[in-house]
Amino acid sequence: MSAPRPVAPVNQEVAAAHTAAYKTLPDVVVGVDVEDLMKVHTAADADALRPQLIAQVWKDTGVLPTGLPTVRRDVEVPAELPAFTGVRRYDRLDVTMPFGYVATVWVLEPARTDHRRVAFYHNGHGEPLDTMQRVAQGLLDHGYTVLLFAMPFFHWNPTTLQDPVDPTVTQQPSHNDLPQWESASYSPLALFLEPLAVAMNHVQATYQPSSVQLVGLSGGGWTTTIYSALDPRITRSYPTAGTLPFFVRPGSPTPNPTLGDWEQRQDLQPGFYALADFPDLYALGSVGPNRRQLQILNRFDDCCFNGVGHRAYEAAVRQRIAIIGTDAVSNESNGHWELLEDATHGDHTISPYALSVILWDLDVHCAHLP
């Protein structure tokens, strides 16, 4: 028998330091019919919607990129990364994109493993590397080959782009400056998502993994949600402190950061988010053989996506995805979604408790995979 899922009580000291806004359902979400918001009702709906979303990112193609990165094998321990133990080898993947941008992905191969499973970890808008270190080390200790990603312009990634009009000029944009690069043939959303697609191509060709997991914090949690929706090769996903459906966001105790940057905003991405609000994106990231998604939200997060507004959609989304994922012939489940409300701390992080749940979930639900 497998060990029971870890549980943890509310941190009463942290809870006492927060107002009722962190503990009660906000008025703005009361009475919202979440099922009516969702467009995905069947697996066929998911299969039809996915290429439409992909075409918003990679204009009019409807397919994920098929390219491969430039690979440098067995590089020196990267100075940009926190210290890890149990690493047999570091590889560097460089993903070349338009406007002179080359994103870097680090590959950490474990010294010891007894399976072919791979995990991606994606950091957000420059959060300290302690969360990356904790999560990636936990995955390495469980035998996962781990790939480390950062958002555009953060950590080890370049901070500049060629000017959209004059390539001899470079600019140092923020995410909110990216509309300057939008055109009929290019979406800057690709800056966020193409490194994962190209790295995935490399992983499939190099490791033939039995499953690929994706864990992300904050902006990396947004990336985890979006990319898992676009690529069914992601088996299990754990987006943390990164998204809320649009109707919930005004009810957050910290609404301004919860609105998000350019890539997160419905008013600035009308084409993409007109196709799917986040409940449908959760469905696309969950439905399919062996697929599961666990959304993690920190109730007392000191940044964003906090409070308990998620309780307004959790049950409806979980039920809808369970129905979509149930095979009508075999009655077997082909998809699962749930939400973990972490009230053990007050930080913007993947806590030790949340990590214990992630590792438990992987141990239990990947046990049958080689």
Confidence at residue 62, expressed as pLDDT on a 0 to 100 scale: 86
Residue in this structure with the two tokens 């080359």, named with its chain if needed: 102
Nearest CA to 253 out of 326, 203, 303 is that of 303
State the chain's mean pLDDT as an integer: 95
Residue 7 lies in a domain: no
> Which uninterrupted H or E stretch holds 71?
strand 70-72
Q: How many Å apart are CA 357 and CA 120, to the nearest integer?
A: 17
For residue 329, is pLDDT > 60?
no
The string of pLDDT tens digits covering residues 118-140 is: 999 999 998 999 999 999 999 99
Question: Which residue, 288, 296, 338, is CA-closest to 313?
Answer: 338
Task: Note the pLDDT of residue 257.
Answer: 92
**What is the extent of the structural domain holding 116?**
12-365
For residue 334, the tally of other CB atoms under 10 A from its CB is 16
Secondary structure letter of residue 75 according to DSSP: P
Number of structural domains (the chain) is 1
Query: What is the four-CA torsion angle of 20, 24, 28, 29, rounded to 10 degrees?
Result: 160
**What are 272's strand-pairing partners?**
none
Is residue 263 included in any domain, yes or no?
Answer: yes
Average pLDDT (172-177) is 96
- pLDDT (tens digit, 9 = 90+) per residue, 29-76? 999 999 999 999 999 999 999 999 999 999 988 899 999 999 999 999
Radius of gyration of the chain (CA): 20
Rounded Cα distance, 227 and 221, in Å? 10
SS3 call for 109: strand
Task: Tell me the two tokens of residue 140.
Answer: 């390495």
Q: Is residue 6 part of a domain?
A: no
Confidence of residue 332 (pLDDT cuts 50, 70, 90): low
Structure confidence at residue 1 (pLDDT)? 64
Residue 330 has pLDDT above 80, yes or no: no
pLDDT tens-digit series, residues 226-267: 999 999 999 999 999 999 999 999 999 999 999 999 999 999
The 10 Å CB-count burial string (b at 16+, else e) for 193-211 is bbbbbbbbbbbeeeeebeb
| Tens digit of each residue's pLDDT (9 = 90 or more) over 300-311 | 999 999 999 999
Confidence of residue 328 (pLDDT cuts 50, 70, 90): low
Predicted model pTM: 0.97
Residue 132 lies in a domain: yes
Q: Is residue 1 part of a domain?
A: no
> What is the CATH number for 215?
3.40.50.1820
Pairwise CA distance, residues 309 & 262, whole Å: 22
Token pair of 214, please? 């994706």
148 lies in a domain? yes
Beta bridge partners of 238: 215
Looking at residue 235, its pLDDT comes to 96
Q: 189 lies in a domain?
A: yes
Domain membership flag for residue 2: no
